[in-house]
């Protein structure tokens, strides 16, 4: 997979001070300041936060509210880039101790694509992590550059060891996608602790623990089918480790930290080069089947990425982070953030405008649901505001993959209705303790590896 670099400097770079869940950063610069590439320009002393850095050398034009790709606005630092590569001096931290790594990760601005600051996933307050997983099932999340696939595989293994060290975890796994033959070949071509790696498929009851024992190792590389969805963490945890996560809890409650391939690579770069997280790989699609992978400076407006990609004619819709579950944008001036993975473009005639009709009870949505829900019933109950009943049939288990809506011949907006109900439930029940689930795949009981 070729990753091109977006070299052209945009007219302005917009760096939101909110690029993760938790506490928003405070600006460390003011209008008129000159900043360097890699300079820290925002931070918070609170634990649940992560620093932000400038991706260019230039002058701070303003600090103001600006459209954010999550659909809201965020306080952002607007920088006019200079044609200069003036960079802060980066020093590698090769011998960093385990206890210092979490602070280092926070300082380097490393966050997960699902919104959490990485150090809070590895060292959640009041919990112990014994297992770290790198979810590499979406190859477009690969960050940074590498010369050969083998180099990439070695870097990800190294990153996993760093993540395990940061979490004080004894076990770790990298999970690839079963059909990602290039990555599987790359990992099978390297050695870890003088042993040739073997990528093992997750099938049936053979989970991570089985392969750790079989390979007599602390680290394994596994493969599974790709799972779409924004809320896949609990499902992914069960699929890989066999540990079931209670509703209302997250993988860290059962001792598992899940990191993405981007944050893993960002940590590798931070430790070995001393560079913080200020650029990221974004895939862009929209012309025929042409998908491009671009290394983009964080803060680059979508418009500049689209111009580089070469989309001609009228754009009907711009979607951030995938057409199934992403967010449609109302302006092309939103910036690429640490959480941006994909930009999808649609022509006006491609934009779905079908009005829903009544459910014809075909049960296609039930057949495709990966967590064995009844999406048609959830949609009806959500639409009628029957949120208690939504809870009773385990709406919280929905991983928001969008498969049900994609197959529905009646074009019912099932996913939107489910999200609407989940938001309403979260607001109404936020003080209630985690609820047990009778759902077969995600039910209670920790452990079980």
Torsion angle of alpha carbons 322, 327, 328, 334, nearest 10°? -100
Q: How far is CA 430 from the centre of its chain?
A: 24
**Nearer to ligand SF4 by C-beta: 88 or 368?**
368
Rounded CA-CA distance 271/263 in Å is 12
Residues 6+ apart with CB under 8 A from 57: 34, 35, 36, 37, 81, 82, 84, 85, 86, 87
How far apart CA 211 and CA 222 sit, in angstroms, is 9
Longest dimension (CA), the chain: 63
Measured between alpha carbons, how far is 449 from 438 in angstroms, rounded to an integer?
19
For residue 51, what are the contacts with CB-CB under 8 A and spacing of at least 6? Answer: 25, 40, 42, 43, 106, 107, 108, 109, 276
Burial call 88-107: b when 16+ CB within 10 Å, e when fewer: beeeebeebeeeebbebbbb
Of residues 18, 15, 19, the one with CA closest to residue 29? 15
Q: Does 442 bind ligand SF4 (CB under 6 A)?
A: no
| 13 contacts ligand SF4 (rule: CB under 6 A) | no
Q: Of these, 125, 147, 196, 361, which contacts ligand SF4 (CB under 6 A)?
A: 361
| Residues between 377 and 436 with contacts to ligand SF4, criterion CB under 6 A | 379, 398-404, 407-410, 412, 414-415, 418
Q: Cβ 373 to ligand SF4, closest distance in Å?
A: 4
Query: Nearest approach, Cβ of 405 to ligand SF4 (angstroms)?
Result: 7
Question: Of 51, 74, 233, 365, which one interacts with ligand SF4 (CB under 6 A)?
Answer: 365
Shortest CB 161 distance to ligand SF4, Å: 33
d(CA 218, CA 213): 9
Q: How far is the CB of 320 from ligand SF4 (least distance, A)?
A: 18
Contact pick of 371, 390, 417, 425 for ligand SF4 (by CB under 6 A): 371
Least distance CB 395 / ligand SF4 (angstroms)? 8
Number of residues assigned to the chain: 449
Check residue 360 for interaction with ligand SF4 (CB under 6 A): yes
- First-last CA distance in the chain: 34
Cβ 289 to ligand SF4, closest distance in Å? 25
Stretch that binds ligand SF4, among 65-73, 111-119, 357-365, 437-445 (CB under 6 A): 357-365
**Of 38 and 375, CB closest to ligand SF4:** 375
Q: Contact letters (x/-) for ligand SF4, 180-209, by CB under 6 A?
A: ------------------------------
Closer Cβ to ligand SF4, 296 or 442, answer by number: 442
137 vs 337 by CB, closer to ligand SF4: 137
**Residues contributing to the site for ligand SF4 (CB under 6 A):** 359-365, 368-371, 373, 375-376, 379, 398-404, 407-410, 412, 414-415, 418
């Amino acid at each position: 997979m070729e990753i091109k670099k977006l070299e052209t400097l945009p007219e302005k770079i917009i760096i939101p001070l909110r690029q993760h869940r938790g506490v928003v950063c405070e600006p460390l610069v003011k209008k008129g300041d000159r900043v360097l590439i890699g300079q820290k320009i925002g931070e918070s002393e609170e634990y649940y936060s992560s620093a932000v850095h400038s991706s260019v050398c230039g002058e701070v034009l303003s600090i103001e509210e600006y459209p954010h790709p999550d659909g809201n606005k965020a306080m952002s630092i607007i920088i006019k880039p200079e044609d200069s590569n003036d960079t802060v001096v980066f020093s590698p931290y090769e011998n960093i101790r385990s206890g210092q790594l979490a602070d280092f990760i926070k300082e380097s601005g490393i966050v997960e694509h699902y919104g959490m600051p990485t150090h809070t996933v590895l060292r959640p307050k009041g919990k112990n992590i014994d297992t770290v997983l790198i979810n590499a099932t979406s190859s477009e999340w690969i960050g940074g550059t590498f010369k050969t696939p083998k180099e990439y595989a070695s870097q990800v293994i190294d990153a996993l060891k760093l993540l395990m060290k940061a979490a004080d975890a004894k076990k770790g796994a990298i999970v690839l996608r079963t059909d990602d033959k290039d990555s599987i070949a790359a990992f099978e071509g390297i050695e870890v602790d003088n042993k040739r790696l073997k990528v093992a498929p997750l099938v049936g009851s053979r989970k991570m623990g089985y392969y750790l024992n079989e390979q007599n190792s602390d680290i394994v590389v596994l493969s599974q089918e790709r799972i779409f969805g924004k809320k896949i963490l609990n499902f992914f945890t069960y699929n890989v480790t066999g540990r079931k996560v209670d509703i209302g809890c997250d993988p860290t409650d059962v001792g598992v930290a899940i990191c993405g391939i981007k944050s893993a690579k960002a940590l590798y770069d931070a430790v070995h080069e001393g560079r913080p997280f200020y650029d990221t790989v974004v895939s862009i699609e929209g012309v025929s089947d042409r998908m491009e992978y671009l290394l983009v400076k964080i803060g680059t407006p979508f418009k500049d990425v689209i111009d580089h990609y070469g989309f001609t004619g009228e754009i009907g819709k711009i979607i951030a982070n995938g057409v199934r579950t992403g967010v449609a944008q109302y302006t092309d001036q939103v910036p690429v953030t640490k959480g941006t993975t994909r930009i999808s473009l649609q022509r006006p005639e491609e934009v779905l405008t079908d009005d829903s009709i009544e459910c014809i009870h075909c049960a296609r949505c039930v057949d495709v649901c990966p967590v064995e829900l009844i999406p048609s019933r959830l949609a009806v109950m959500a639409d009628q505001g029957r949120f208690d009943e939504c809870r009773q049939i385990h709406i919280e288990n929905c991983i928001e993959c969008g498969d049900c809506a994609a197959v529905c011949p009646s074009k019912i907006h099932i996913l939107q209705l489910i999200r609407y109900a989940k938001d309403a439930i979260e607001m109404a029940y936020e003080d209630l303790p985690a609820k047990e689930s009778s759902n077969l795949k995600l039910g209670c009981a920790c452990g079980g590896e």
